[in-house]
Amino acid sequence: MAAKQLVSTRVGSLAVQVTGQGPSTVLWSSLFVDERSWERVAADLAGDRRLVLITGPGHGESTDPGRPYTIEECAVAAATVLDTLGITDPVDWLGNAWGGHVGALFATRWPARCRSLVMIGTPVQALSTKERVCTIFLLLAYRLFGSAGFIQDGVTKVLLSARTRADDRGAVDLVKSCLANADRTKLRNAVVSVSLHREDLTSLLPAIAVPTLFITGADHSGWTPQQARAASQLVPDGSSAVVAYAAYLVPVEAPEETVRLIRQFWAAQVGRPKTA
């Protein structure tokens, strides 16, 4: 993987890695994990793609603005990263959860800069009352205890399927490592900004003018296959796919299937006119 560089944006200095050669592809990961969540798919995708891995504010080596921020500001930050790197050609966007939200805003604000969009494990609805209560409890516990074992276990249980937790120690260690090494204040700010205060994006879907693939894990309780399929039908050129035995972090849990679905989706776009 190429060395990281920090790019100054309105949501902080974001850690960015560029690797591979070919059409430009932006990757933005889920809340709670950093760019390492793409490691299992990046080597394959970088064979014929220039991957731009952006670590979201408050994660990994990225800083944050020291205040609450919005998903739209994250999309603006992504545009700043591309401008800084001198990338002017339209990009394919791969977003996992949070990264999918940012990609949807990016695609609607700059349709000429986005060739296609893949939203992986990305619920478009706002948090339910139950989810909000659980998130607030998590934030309070995290403020008091940091990345204590029970908090790591709780987050891991949400992000990874039962099968992954039982059979894939590497995936479990990745999530726990990201939590253990996170800056407590910045990670809390990220959770408040892009999860607790996330707006419902359903009304945005008809305005996405690029081919869009919704991928979800069969064990993703917050974004079921039925919900992903319904969302895809609201996008003019939308489709959906389900990955067995996975939850939020599909690129970590099922890397081979993730790559297959992405490449199949990309191949289907070759030679097709862009949706008006």
Instruction: Summarize pLDDT for 137-187 with one digit per residue, the tens.
Output: 888 888 888 888 899 999 999 999 999 999 999 999 999 999 999 999 999
Domains identified in the chain and CATH numbers: 5-269 (3.40.50.1820)
Q: CA-to-CA distance for 42 and 110, rounded, in angstroms?
A: 25
Give the pLDDT confidence of 228-270 residue by residue, as tens digits.
999 999 999 999 999 999 999 999 999 999 999 999 999 998 7
Nearest to 121 by CA among 28, 199, 187, 51: 28
| Cβ proximity of 52 and 85 under 8 Å | yes
Strands 12-19 and 5-9: antiparallel
